């Protein structure tokens, strides 16, 4: 299966999605056609 079609229509959970890497990952998943991208982040590093 090619990476271009692997995420089409799928639901994907990204933990740490508010950070730099997580944000870019979520954008790429959306570009690859993910049906839903769920972002979970407790923002704990924002308070350090």
Q: How many residues does the chain have?
A: 48
- Determine the Cα–Cα distance for residues 2 and 8; give it in Å rounded to an integer: 11
pLDDT in tens, the chain (48 residues): 788 799 999 999 999 999 899 999 999 999 999 999 999 999 887 776
pLDDT score at 9: 95
Residue 33's Cα: distance from chain center in Å?
12
Alpha helical stretches, state H, the chain: 3-6, 20-31
Q: Return the pLDDT at 2.
A: 81
Please report the pLDDT score of residue 46 as a whole number: 74
Res 3: pLDDT: 80
Burial of 13 per CB tally in 10 Å (0-12, 13-18, 19+): exposed
């Amino acid at each position: 299966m090619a990476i271009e079609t692997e995420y089409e229509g799928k639901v994907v959970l990204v933990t740490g999605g508010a950070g730099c890497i997580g944000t870019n990952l979520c954008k790429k998943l959306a570009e690859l056609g993910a049906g839903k991208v769920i972002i979970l982040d407790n923002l704990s590093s924002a308070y350090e």
